[in-house]
Structure 1
Amino acid sequence: MNKPIPAPDAPQPIPGARLLFSNDASVAQLNHGSFGMVPIAVQRAQQRLRDEMEANPHRFFSVGLEERITHVRRHLATFVGADPDGSALVNNASTGTSIVLSSLGLAADDEIVTTDHGYGAVDLAVDEICRRTGAVHRVAPVPLVADDATVTAAVLAAITPRTRLVIVDLITAATAQVFPVRRIIEAVRAAHGERVAIHIDAAHGPGLLDEPVRELDADFWVGNLHKWAYAPRGTALLAVAPAWRARIRPLVLSWSTEAGFPASLEWLGAHDYTPWLAAPTGLFVLRSLGLETVRRHNTALAEHGRRLVADALGVEVLPATGLPMTLVPLPPGVAADLTSAVALRRRISDELSAEVGLAAWHGRGYLRLSAQVYNRVDDFQRLADGLPKLIR
C-alpha cells in the first residue's frame, strides 16, 4: 500500500454559493463534469422563456428569434474569445464534431487522427464517417501522465501524408488531463502547414480554462457551456476558421440552409431555443461569484477530495493538473472494462448516494471526481468512507 499523502486543506465555502443551486443535498454530487448543474436563476430565466414561447408560439418563432439567437451567440463567443461571426450555437460538443466530420468531404484512404484519451462519442462519430467514406481512423497513444512535449510528439507521430484532420481534446473527458493544444497546433502547422485541419474538442473548456479561441489558429473548436459556465444543457459553441465557413454543412437541412454559416446551423425550425437564450444568465451568475474565485475554490476542493479518496483506497495519487475535475485510480482489477465500470457507478449511486464519473481506460478503472461551489468536504468524505467496503 502506498504511503498516504496528507490532503491539502479544503477551501472555505463561497458564502451563499450553495443556495444558488437546487440539487438534492442528500446526494454527493461529484460528477459536475458530465452534465453540469443549472443555477436556480438560470432555471427561472429559461422557464420564463418557455412561458413566453407557449403563450404565443407563432410570435416566438417568427418575430425576432434569429436576432435574439445572434445576440446570445455574440455574448458567448466573446466569453470564450471566438469570432462571433465565425461561430454557431449547437446542442453540444458531439454535435459540433459531427458537423465538422460531415463537412470535410472525406474520401477513401483519407485519415483522421485522434488520441486514445478521446471522448467515446467522438470516436464513434469518427468510426462511422470512416465506415461511410472509406477513410481511416488512426489513434495516437498518449501515456496517462505525460508532459507537453510527449503529448505533442505522440500526435505528430500519428500524422501521415494521408491525414486530413487531427482531433485533440483540450481537457480529456475520461482521464481529466489538460492537453497542450496551442503547442500541438503550432507543431502541426510547422510540419504540415494548412494541409492538415485541426479540430479542438474543448467540451470542458468554457468557464474552466482561459483559452481564447481566436488566438489558437485551429480550423475548428467546439466547447460546451453547460458544464462549467452554468448554461442550460444543450448549449455549445462551434467556432470555424474563415477558410472553412463556406464548406460547413448542417446535419439537418432547414429553411436557413441557403443562408450559409452560421444561420444554417442555428435555425432548426420548431427547436427548443430556450437553453441558448438563457445561457447569458449563467455567465452572469458565474461572474457574480467571481470567475477566478470559483476556479480557485473548485480546484482546491477537488484536490483535497481526491487525496481523501485515494488515501482511503490505498492507491497512488496522480500529479495535479490544476483542474476541478480530477482522477483517482481504482485498485487493479476493479472496473477494468466498460461493463463493470457502469455497474460500479450504479452501485455507488444506489448504495452510497454519490454520483461520480467512472471510466475504464487501458484495462484499469478510474474515478473522475468533480468539485463545484455547491460541494463540501463531506461529499468526498462519504465516498472515501464507503467506497473501500463497496469494492471489496
Structure 2
Amino acid sequence: MTAAPQTVEPPRPLAGTETLFSLDPAVVHLNHGSFGAVPVSVQRLQRRLHEEQEADPDGFFADLPARVAAARTRIAAALGTEPELLALVPNVTDAIAVTLANVPLSAGDRVLVTDHGYGTVNEAVRRRAEDAGAELRTVRLPLDLPDGEAVREAVLAEVTDRTVLAVLDGITSPTARRVATPDLLRELRGRGVTTVVDAAHEPGMLAGPVPAEADFWFGNLHKWAFAPRATGVLVVRPEWAGKIRPLILSWEDHQGYPASVEWRGTLDYTPYLAAPAGLDLLETFGPGVVRAHNERLVAYGAALVAERTGLAALPFSAGLSMRALRLPPGVAETLPQAQELMAEMWRRHAVRTVARPWAGGGVLRVCAQLYNRAPEYEVLAGGLAGLLG
C-alpha cells in the first residue's frame, strides 16, 4: 500500500460511531449524498411508531396532526426558522412542485437555472416555464470557475428586467459547490427576482439558519440530518405563507399552510415524527464537530483519489462533506457510461459511489459521513486507478 497524501491527514473517528449505523461492513459506502443512512436509534423509533400505528390506526391518525405540528416546531427551531413558515414534505421533488405551482409566471417572463442544478428540479422548472410561455435561461458555470464572487457574477450577468424567477442550488448535487449564497439571494431580491433555493444537502451539513433572503427554500433531512427517508422541508417567506395552495386537497386544507401541504391522507408520517430524533442525535455529537470531521475526512479522501489516479480535483466550497473530481476524457461522458463505471466499482470492489456526465465529460463525487473510515478511500482510489488504466 502506497503512502497517503502528506498534505492532508484524516481525522480520527468520533467515539461512539462504530455502532451508530446498520450498514453492511462488506460494502464501502461513499455515496451518503444520494440516500443518506439512518442511525440505528432512529430506525428503532420509527419501527415503534409503525407498531403504534398498526395497534390502533384510528387513534394514531386522530392524534397525528398535533404530533406532526410538534415535530415541525422542533425541526423549525433546528433550522432557525418559524414553524408557521415550514411545511414537512417527503423530499425536495415535492417541494419544487408545490413552489412552481404557486409562483406566478407569464408569457415573456424569464426564469433562471444553472447547469449545475439537479436534473429533475431543472426539468420541473423547464416544464413550468414552457407551460407559461416564459423563457428559460440556463446559467453556465464552468467546472473550474472559482468559488464565491465568480459564481455570483455569472448568475447576475444573466439577469435582465424580464427575469422574475431564479431557481438555484444551495449546494450543487453532482459538483459539490455553493451557489445560492445569502449575498446572491439579497442581490436578486433587490432586483425584484423571486428566489427559490434547492437546499437538498444543506440541513445537517451547513451551519446557520434558513436564509431570510430566499422566497422559497427546501431541503432534505434524510441526507445529512439523520432523519428517516423520506423527510424534507419547504420554508417560505412570510408574505408567501397565506398564498400557498397544496397540490393535493385534504381534510387539513382548511387550516392553510403549512398543514395543508403536509397532510396527504394515509401517507406514512412516521419519518416526520422520527426526524427530531435524528436532529437530537446530531446535537449529541455536536453539529460543528460532525461537520468538521466530515469536511476533513472528505478532503483527505479527495486528495488521496487525486494522487493515486491523477484525476483533477474540482474547485470546492469550504465546509462541505462532499468533493468532486474530473474524470478523464471518454469516461462517464454519458449517463450509461457513468452507470457502468459505478456498476464496475460495485462488482469489482464493493464500492458505492456516484459518477455523472457533466459539461462534455464526467464527474466523480466523493462523500464523507461519521461511518466512513480512511481506508475506504484507499479502496476507492485503488479501484478507480485499475479501472481507468
Given that 1:231 and 1:279 are in contact with CA atoms closer than 8 Å, whether structure 2 keeps it comes out as yes
Cross-structure match for 1:351: 348
Given that 2:305 and 2:377 are in contact with CA atoms closer than 8 Å, whether structure 1 keeps it comes out as yes
Given that 1:313 and 1:330 are in contact with CA atoms closer than 8 Å, whether structure 2 keeps it comes out as no
Distance 2:265 2:312 in 1: 51
Compare 177-186 and 304-313 and name the one that shifted more.
Answer: 177-186
> 1:311 offset after TM fit, Å?
1.1
Given that 1:171 and 1:178 are in contact with CA atoms closer than 8 Å, whether structure 2 keeps it comes out as yes
Given that 2:111 and 2:164 are in contact with CA atoms closer than 8 Å, whether structure 1 keeps it comes out as yes
Cross-structure match for 2:203: 206
> 1:257 offset after TM fit, Å?
2.0
Distance 2:128 2:15 in 1: 48
Q: 2:254 aligns with which of 254, 258, 261?
A: 258
Given that 2:180 and 2:197 are in contact with CA atoms closer than 8 Å, whether structure 1 keeps it comes out as no
- SS state at 1:82 partner: coil
Using the aligned pairs only, state the percent identity.
43
TM-score, length basis structure 2: 0.95
Cα deviation code 1:252-271 (max 9, x no counterpart):
12222232111110111111
Cross-structure match for 1:381: 378
Distance 1:319 1:121 in 2: 24
Unaligned regions of 5+ residues in structure 2, if any? none
Cα deviation code 1:107-145 (max 9, x no counterpart):
222222111110111011112212322222111112223
Please state if 1:273 is matched with 2:269: yes
Distance 2:180 2:231 in 1: 25
Given that 1:7 and 1:308 are in contact with CA atoms closer than 8 Å, whether structure 2 keeps it comes out as no
Cross-structure match for 1:110: 109
Cross-structure match for 1:49: 49
Cross-structure match for 2:174: 174
Cα deviation code 1:301-321 (max 9, x no counterpart):
111111111111112233443
Cross-structure match for 2:289: 293
> 1:99 offset after TM fit, Å?
0.7
Cross-structure match for 1:156: 156
Distance 2:138 2:146 in 1: 16
Cα deviation code 1:194-215 (max 9, x no counterpart):
x3210111110011111312x5
Given that 1:6 and 1:307 are in contact with CA atoms closer than 8 Å, whether structure 2 keeps it comes out as no
Given that 1:360 and 1:366 are in contact with CA atoms closer than 8 Å, whether structure 2 keeps it comes out as yes
Cross-structure match for 1:309: 305
Cross-structure match for 2:93: 94
In the TM superposition, structure 1's runs of 4+ consecutive aligned residues that sit over 4 Å from their partners are none
Root mean square deviation, CA, Å: 1.5
Q: Which amino acid aligns with 1:248?
A: I
Q: How is 1:10-49 mapped onto 2 (pairs within 5 angstroms)?
A: 10-49=10-49
> 1:180 offset after TM fit, Å?
5.0
Compare 371-380 and 287-296 and name the one that shifted more.
Answer: 287-296
Given that 1:38 and 1:232 are in contact with CA atoms closer than 8 Å, whether structure 2 keeps it comes out as yes
- SS state at 1:244 partner: helix
Distance 2:350 2:5 in 1: 26
Compare 125-134 and 364-373 and name the one that shifted more.
Answer: 125-134
Distance 2:86 2:361 in 1: 38
Number of aligned residue pairs: give it.
384
- SS state at 1:347 partner: helix
Distance 1:121 1:252 in 2: 20
Q: 1:234 aligns with which of 216, 230, 233?
A: 230
Given that 2:189 and 2:195 are in contact with CA atoms closer than 8 Å, whether structure 1 keeps it comes out as no
Compare 164-173 and 39-48 and name the one that shifted more.
Answer: 164-173
Distance 2:55 2:350 in 1: 39
> 1:164 offset after TM fit, Å?
2.0
Please state if 1:365 is matched with 2:384: no
Distance 1:329 1:25 in 2: 28
Distance 2:208 2:200 in 1: 12
Q: Which amino acid aligns with 2:31?
A: N
Given that 2:177 and 2:316 are in contact with CA atoms closer than 8 Å, whether structure 1 keeps it comes out as no
Q: Which amino acid aligns with 1:272?
A: D
Distance 1:126 1:319 in 2: 27
Please state if 1:78 is matched with 2:74: no
Cα deviation code 1:47-71 (max 9, x no counterpart):
0000011111111112x21111111
> 1:282 offset after TM fit, Å?
0.5
Given that 1:328 and 1:368 are in contact with CA atoms closer than 8 Å, whether structure 2 keeps it comes out as yes
Cα deviation code 1:179-204 (max 9, x no counterpart):
251110121133x1xx3210111110
Distance 2:148 2:98 in 1: 29
> 1:146 offset after TM fit, Å?
2.1
Distance 1:316 1:29 in 2: 22
Given that 1:303 and 1:320 are in contact with CA atoms closer than 8 Å, whether structure 2 keeps it comes out as no
> 1:216 offset after TM fit, Å?
2.8
> 1:171 offset after TM fit, Å?
0.6
Compare 170-179 and 343-352 and name the one that shifted more.
Answer: 343-352
> 1:5 offset after TM fit, Å?
6.1
- SS state at 1:158 partner: coil
Distance 1:158 1:364 in 2: 24
